[in-house]
Chains A and B, each alone.
Chain A
Amino acid sequence: MSEPKIPVDLIMKKLAEDSEEVFKTVQKASDVLLGPLDTAISTTPCDIVYEEDRIKVKHYKPKTGVKLKTPLLLVYALINRETMLDLQPGRSTIQNFLDEGVEVYMIDWGSPTRKDKYLTIDDHVNGYMDNVIDFIRERHNLPKINLMGICIGGTFSVMYAALHPEKIKNLVTTVTPTNFDTEQGLLHIWMKTINVDRMVDTMGNIPGDMMNLGFLILNPARLMIDKYVGFLKNISDKTFVENFLRMEKWIFDSPDFPGETFRQFINDLYEKNLLIQNKMELGGRGINLKKVTMPLLNFYGKYDHLVPPGACEQLTEAVGSKDAENVCLDTGHIGIYVSSKVQKEFAPRIARWLKERDNPEKGPSSRGKPAAKATATVEKPGSRTSSPKKEKKKISA
């Protein structure tokens, strides 16, 4: 078999022609890289108002005045950090909520150490989350608060809302896996085959670096090659470099995952898919999704390779709420929170949806439709995927 010949001479000629341009770029790049760079993340001012073990609760208050009487609690995932929601000015979900007059609390799960390896999902949901929600309810003298979950934090929020519906006014889930019986994402295929018991027995907490490596391997061509080629192409652009480094800072800042929580998550969810079938138990109590009766807004990304649409969209059908809506955005897992295009609509839309449901006197007939229309600017035609059945339910409600 003859080996194909690469036209090296032509490539070299092309490189020589470009060399002057390359030299200029390198010179400019060195100025950028050696000069001062602003790569700080999570810069929106906040107060730490609650601490328990490794967790903290951050409190953000709108400068322009609170427009919603019910505060919003954000529950981030146990993978990576909540700083992603406040990556930088102009790309901050938190800042966008504040601009809309929403008072925000956010759980920082901290960094689990070996003493946290025995913590289960029950400890996170019925322990930490319940304590934080009681704290906020008491602080605001309110029976219920708004809850928004991100990824696994969303799964925890769904579990919480089913077990404590009396404490949650509105539920927003974003890129939240609830149905694990799908082959759309590689994680859903791989996780079903790993021996999680042996993994947790050996490692205790699952190292954050190991998980990060796993995520990189999901798409090495883009995440390990193309991304950095893109960086090199734009290395002389200071703003690009700053944004890129902020993202790198966030991505590789990964706390370990508490061992027993990981074991339960893989066994009960990825392998047995118990939650969506109303068969999951936490602390001896069964989770029945029909008890999620509060309004629900469920966001997911059309191109999400970690939590694909198939893992998210069944939730609105499974819950007991009559005011439940799916919103599919033309973006990926992280793009929902950091894409400049999506940012223009994402937080304002949630804020609008919450405002419409903030006054208990308002009937459900006055809501739903305006919110649905508002998505048109963000999504491509036909990308909004409320199921016809649910749509009908909503309209009739």
Chain B
Amino acid sequence: MSENQNEKLYPESLISFWMKSATDFWGSTYRMWSDVTEPFQPEGVKKQFQRLESVPKMWQSFFSTLSVPESVNALFKGMDVLPEVVLRTLQSGWVGYSALQKEWLEKASRMGKQSEAYKFEDIDKDLFNAWAEVYENELRQFLNFPQIGLTRFYQERIGQTLDRLNLFEISLSEFMKLLYLPMEKSAKAMSEKLEEVTKNGELSGDFNEYYGEWIKMLEGHYMVLFRSTEYIKGLNNVLEGGENYLSARNHLMEDILQFFPIATDKDMDELCKEVYLLKKEVKKLSKKVAGLK
């Protein structure tokens, strides 16, 4: 049996491979950043990275079950009764995978060409958009699928929370990559300089000198980046993504908490506002009374 025939019969292995590639890609982006900054991260930030890393892993392990022949056989035995929507999901996933692979191949061919010192206005946008486009065009629609019946609102909020989490993670990954660019640019410029001084036999024994030069160069790159419209856009996207996710998560939490005798965020906010207004009024009246005395 040829490999192509295998692929036709077992598209599940391709999906699994696709999920692994996608999660490995973002996983290594997180790790790359956290490795660089880990010694300097406060505990809260470290936890955030660990959490972010766990999300793609979770997806990966979910999809990896599709690679186990037994479970896949069982799944595909009932293929003929699967609703059309599931088939479409798989189909879209396949289309997305192809698009993503194409993007990665193109990106790989551009490697080494994208980095120019102190220039951020011509950032290769495709570099960031590959996963975002696949997610937004092929997968997102399934999380926003119209829900029906008694539990429709609850299902909608679960879908929305997952959707916002994915969007947040996409924007965060883009932002992290953006923050990493000055490191890449300054390291490249520095290695070129070291190569040149070595060639000329002028390499200094004092590496502090080169470190000082690199840090200055890095600072300069960051200062240019931070004033660029790309950075400001990336910063706003990540803030917006985080806020949208928090908001969706809070709505979902309210749904859950209403089944328990626990006050929700909304209840607490209302209470806090009432206390705030009452206190303000009491203080005002106390001052008036003290003035009358």
Among residues of B, the one whose C-beta sits closest to the C-beta of A226 is: B215
Are A229 and B239 CB-contacts (below 8 A) given A119-B276, A204-B269? Answer: no
Interface digits, B274-293 against A, CB 8 Å rule (1 contact, 0 not)?
01110110010000000000
What residues of A have a CB within 8 angstroms of the CB of B205 in the complex? 14
Given the complex, which residues of B lie within 8 Å of A6, measured CB to CB? 191, 194-195
Which residues of A in the span 19-61 have a Cβ within 8 Å of any Cβ on B? 53
Q: Does A135 contact B (CB under 8 A)?
A: no
> Chain A 117-145, CB within 8 Å of chain B: the 1/0 string?
11100010001000000000000000000
Interchain CB contact under 8 A, B207 and A186: no
Closest to A216 in B: B40
Contact of A213 with B by CB under 8 A: yes
> Main SS of the interface on chain A?
helix
| Cβ-defined contact, B207 with A225, below 8 A | no
Shortest distance from the beta carbon of B227 to any chain A beta carbon, whole Å: 7
Cβ-closest chain B residue relative to A200? B243
Does B42 lie within 8 Å of A225, measured CB to CB?
no
User: With A4-B188, A209-B42 in contact, is A11–B207 under 8 Å at CB?
Assistant: yes
Counting chain B residues whose Cβ lies within 8 A of the other chain, the interface size class is: 35 or more
Contact present for B37 and A229 (CB under 8 Å):
no
A80 to B236, CA, bound (A): 24
| B246 to A, closest residue via Cβ | A202
**B219–A213 touching, CB < 8 Å:** no
B227 / chain A contacts, CB cutoff of 8 Å: 186, 189
User: Residue-by-residue, is B214-228 near A (CB-CB < 8 Å gives 1, otherwise 0)?
Assistant: 010011001000110
Nearest CB in chain A to that of B214: its residue: A221
Cβ-based interface call for A222 (8 A): yes
B211 at the interface (CB under 8 A from A): yes
Bound-state CA distance A190–B228 (Å) is: 11
Q: Which residues of A contact B149 (CB under 8 A)?
A: none
Residues of A within 8 A of B235 (CB): 190, 193-194
Partner of A190, one of B232, B273, B276: B232
Residue in B closest to A9 when the chains form the complex, CB atoms? B198
A302 CB, min distance to chain B CBs, angstroms: 17
| Per-position 1/0 for B227-254, Cβ under 8 A of A | 1000010011001100100110010000
Q: Which residues of A contact B269 (CB under 8 A)?
A: 114, 117, 204
CA distance A164 to B232 in the complex (A): 39
Cβ B272 vs Cβ A225 within 8 A: no
Interface string of B18-60 (1 = CB under 8 A from A): 0000000000000000000101101011000000000000000
The 7 listed contacts between A and B (C-beta, < 8 Å) are A1-B113, A10-B198, A189-B226, A198-B240, A222-B215, A224-B40, A225-B40
Top-4 shortest CB links A-B:
A221-B219, A221-B218, A118-B276, A202-B243
